[in-house]
Structures are given as C-alpha cells and as structure tokens.
Amino acid sequence: MDKQVRHESRALKIKAFEESTAAQKNNQIFGLPFSVKESELVIIPVPWEVTVSFRAGTANGPRAIRDASYQVDLYDPITPDAWKYGFSMQSIDERIQAKAHYLRAIAADCIGHQEQGCSSEDPKLVHMQQEVNQGSNWLNNLLYKKSLMCLNEEKIVGIVGGDHSVPLGLMQALAQHHGSYGILHIDAHFDQRDAFEGFEFSHASIMRNASRIDAIEKIVHVGIRDYCREEAYFVAHSPKRFKTFTDKTMAFTQFTGETTSWADQCHEIIACLPSRVYISFDIDGLDPSLCPHTGTPVPGGLSFQQARFLLWQVLQSGKKIIGFDLCEVAPASNNKTSWASDWDANVGARILYHLCSLTVTSMLGAYPDQKNI
C-alpha cells in the first residue's frame, strides 16, 4: 500500500472515529482504528530480555504497554492531530518469544557460573556464551530485515522492548536507509561495556555496539548516573563521537546557579546532535518512582515533564527524528489488577505516545488539518 493509498484509507476511518470516547480494545495501540498497512508509523514489539543481569520483567513490556495505551487520551496541544498519521504495533513474533525463553535459561546459567568464580576460559561457559551470542545475532538480523522492509515502504519505525539490547537491528537499518545520524540516548547507564559478562549483545553494551556503526556520527548520553571506569574512559577518550550530560552534572549546574533553566540545558544537549536524530529511551533514565519495576533502577533521573520537554525541544529545533526505541519497561511481577502493578506500563505508554507523535510530526510535518487550541 503506497503512501497516497494509506492516506485515503485512513481518511475514511478518521471520519468515523470518535476521538474523545473510550478506546476500543479491539483496535490498534492507543485505541486507534488503523491497521499496520495503513499506518505511517509502525512499532515493532520485542519481548526479549536474554542477558538481563539484575531483575527480569522487561520481556513483558510490549504487551503491558499496549494494554495501558488504551488509557492514553489522544489529544495533545503540542501535536493535536499527529495520531491521524496512524500509529500501529505489529503482532508479537512468536519466534522471538520462543528464542528468548530458551536463551534466557542459558544466559542465567552462564551468569550464575561467573558469579561463583568460574574461569572465563571454562569450555562450558564459553559454549554457553557463544550460543547466547549467536541467538542475539539472529535477533539483530531479524529486526534489521523487519525494519528495512518498513523503511522501504516509506514508513517510520520504532521499537518497544524488552531489554536495551534490542534496537541494534533498527539502528543498522536506519544507517542503510538514511545515512549518517546521531543518537539521543536517555538512560541511567552508559551501556558502553564491551561484551558485558561475555555477551556480545548485552543490554549493557548497546551503545558500544551502536558506536561500531560508521553512520552514527554522535551519541549524546543524557541522565547517566551509574557506570564503570571502563565506560567513563572509553567515552572521555572519544569526545568527537560522544557527549555526556550526567545526572549529577545537570543537577549541580542548577544547584550552583551556573544554569538556572532546564530549557537552556536542553538547548545545549540538542546542539550536540546532527540534523538527523534517533532517540533511544531507556525508561530507567527517568526517576525510579516512575518506573519502579525496571530491570536496573537507579536513584535520580529525569522527571516525566523534563523528559517530555527535552523530546519536544528536539522537534522544535528542526532536526529530523528518524526513529526511536523505548526499552526496559517492566510491569509488576504480581498479577494483581491495581494502580501499583500497572504504573510502569502507564508511564511507558505515555512516553511512547509522545515519541510517536513527535517523530511523525518531525518527519512528515504537522497533520494538514491540525489546529492548535
């Protein structure tokens, strides 16, 4: 379905759609009436948390976010009609679920052996690491193909994890499709470890792996507050490739009066980015009160409105947001239907909606009949 046909198909559904009524759960994500084929922005769900090293649960993120998305009101004064471009989430790929379940058991066994002091050269350990690495590479290749297929249909692609290892295939596809770009990386961690715990595609290594993609000319880290010496040295010794705004530095410049405005800090962050931007959003970049069940929560972090304002400022800057990922959202492990158990997904769904709205507006412009109220 080409772009014009997609537009005409959506226009018919928009006429019949009641934006302000309760969402129909048999509709797409956010209760929208558009199919994947009709939508300009496609979300690929990736329920994968194979190398998680502290707390599990992020594999349940895509489903939980979709369930919570039906609570999100579509009207946003900043981008009031962006949803009319169509946002949709692909069905969860059962192959990914099965492979993740199988490899998670192997990775957990591997991590357990290392915690007990097993030699890094132990043949059993090496074999387990190799199997996990091969499986993770399979995922990267699969997501690369899925992403490139959408991009070749002139669609915008976002990924919802799962742990933060999952967006590498999309990053590779964007490099092929768009050429050079930069990454705005919001996270509590650098994720610059080299093959953490022997896993080449660890959740703690996504930005190290991203830095190996030649087309990615700059990675701007925001909110970082928990990292090792190796990562600090690696980033510090490549100032042209990396720029860091740690949580501590951003807070201290406000405490001392050096910077009094979050807007000024956002402008400094965005000025470091090239004209094309990919947003990699690990939910633990937020204050952990907003994501208490995420895999590796860390005190500090951005408030919801700080994050929202930063994303909006990327749009205001005129830079093109070419894609995004949202990772590490984990619902509570209990099965109770309560405010507490739904909270992480509730926050994640709203961050996802802002990412979708700002990205399509950045790439396609304000929706033609958009009126600011």
Give the mean model confidence (pLDDT) for residues 66-76: 96
**Per-residue pLDDT at 104 exceeds 80:** yes
Percent of the chain with pLDDT over 70: 97
Confidence category of residue 338, pLDDT binned at 50, 70, 90: low
The rounded mean pLDDT for the chain is 94
pTM: predicted TM-score of the whole model, two decimal places: 0.95
CATH topology of domain 3-364: Arginase; Chain A (3.40.800)
Contact 49, 59 (CB under 8 A): yes
* pLDDT tens readout for residues 246-302: 999 999 999 999 988 999 999 999 999 999 999 999 999 999 999 999 999 999 999
- Digit-coded pLDDT (tens) for 52-61: 988 899 999 9
Reported as a single tens digit per residue, the pLDDT across 172-212 is 999 999 999 999 999 999 999 999 999 999 999 999 999 99
Query: According to the model, what pLDDT value does residue 337 have?
Result: 53
Q: Which pLDDT score is estimated for 116?
A: 87
Each domain of the chain, given as residue ranges in start order, spans: 3-364
